[in-house]
Amino acid sequence: MFDLTGKAALVTGASGGIGGSIARALHAHGATVALSGTREAPLKALADALGERAHVLPCDLSDPAAVEALPKDAAKAMGSLDILVNNAGITRDNLLLRMSDDEWQSVIDINLTAQMRLCRGVLRGMMKARWGRIINIGSIVGAAGNPGQCNYAAAKAGLVGLSKSLAAEVASRNVTVNCIAPGFVTTPMTDKLTEEQKAGLLAQVPLARMGDPEEIAAAAVYLASPEAGYVTGATLHVNGGMAML
């Protein structure tokens, strides 16, 4: 089950905890992967660890021209582009009262606008091939909200609306568009939280632990697989029961 042999996947934010796990899992299921991110060194290290079928394509998602070029470069490097995992994201947390326009805009740009551009950039090839998988990594915060993250939550909720609309637009071409909404996952992003914050969050998780990046990656493998061909416009919540949506 879940054989991705012959499929080519572009994963953004592949230098991060969840993105790296997703890239590893897709690769382990047979896919060729293009690893994108801002920092080249960790991408190279991951590509070296994966061996064959791994390409490194650094990209600054705040640069529109670089974002436009990325799907083309990925298709060129891999021969095709069948799976897009929009995983990259940043946080610029602040209470809205104190949030600057720049903190708002940079999160919207990187976590929503860049995703839209990448979706747009991969569509042509997928529509022609009559097969495609777009997986947008959202967040529990996009559905449930979180104080201090008005910008991040807005971008992540926006990603859900984007995914549903695009899913409806391209369904007739056998291209599916879905979201994964992770809850509280062990990554460098959540390592920044204080122990007190972590304890507070864990109290809201029925499974009473943080998620592993591999548990998000497993959801991505499923949504990328031929077996998920009838799933589109959906959001798969992987959050330990933190919010049952």
Partner 1 sequence: MSDIADRVKKIVVEHLGVEEDKVSENASFIDDLGADSLDTVELVMAFEEEFGIEIPDDAAETIQTFGDAVKFIKEAA
- Taking the complex as a whole, how short is the minimal distance between the CB of residue 130 and partner 1, in angstroms? 11
3-state secondary structure 109-128: HHHHHHHHHHHHHHHHHHHH
Q: Are 155 and 107 in contact (CB under 8 A)?
A: yes
DSSP state, residue 94: B
Angle, helices 17-28/213-224, rounded to nearest 10 degrees: 50
- Taking the complex as a whole, how short is the minimal distance between the CB of residue 129 and partner 1, in angstroms? 12
Could you confirm whether 230 is annotated as catalytic?
Answer: no
Q: What is the CA radius of gyration of the chain?
A: 17
Residue positions counted in the chain: 245
C-alpha 9/C-alpha 23 separation (Å) is 8
- Taking the complex as a whole, how short is the minimal distance between the CB of residue 171 and partner 1, in angstroms? 10
Q: Which span (26-34, 135-143, 168-176, 200-208) binds partner 1, by CB under 8 A?
A: 168-176
**65 to 10, 59, 68, 117, 159: CA distances (angstroms):** 17, 10, 5, 10, 21
Q: Candidates 53, 164, 173, 198: give the one binding partner 1 (CB under 8 A).
A: 173
Q: Which span (22-30, 58-66, 105-113, 166-174) binds partner 1, by CB under 8 A?
A: 166-174
Q: Are 34 and 5 in contact (CB under 8 A)?
A: no
Angle, helices 64-78/114-129, rounded to nearest 10 degrees: 30
The 189-218 site mask, x for binding partner 1 (CB under 8 A), equals: ------------------------------
Q: Which span (4-12, 137-145, 165-173, 220-228) binds partner 1, by CB under 8 A?
A: 165-173
Residue (172 or 194) nearer to partner 1, CB = 172
Residue (39 or 124) nearer to partner 1, CB = 124
Residue 37 corresponds to which tokens in the numbers above? 């991110």
- Taking the complex as a whole, how short is the minimal distance between the CB of residue 10 and partner 1, in angstroms? 20
Residue 172 makes contact with partner 1 by CB under 8 A:
yes
Closest CA to 46 of 25, 68, 74, 72: 25
Residue (53 or 72) nearer to partner 1, CB = 72
Residue 186 corresponds to which tokens in the numbers above? 């062990």
Residue (124 or 192) nearer to partner 1, CB = 124
Q: In the window 115-134, what residues touch partner 1 (CB under 8 A)?
A: 124, 127
- Taking the complex as a whole, how short is the minimal distance between the CB of residue 97 and partner 1, in angstroms? 41
Query: Of the listed 104, 152, 184, 222, which one is catalytic?
Result: 152
Angle, helices 101-108/150-170, rounded to nearest 10 degrees: 30
User: Among all residues, which ones are annotated catalytic?
Assistant: 152
Q: Which residues bind partner 1 (CB under 8 A)?
A: 124, 127, 169-170, 172-173
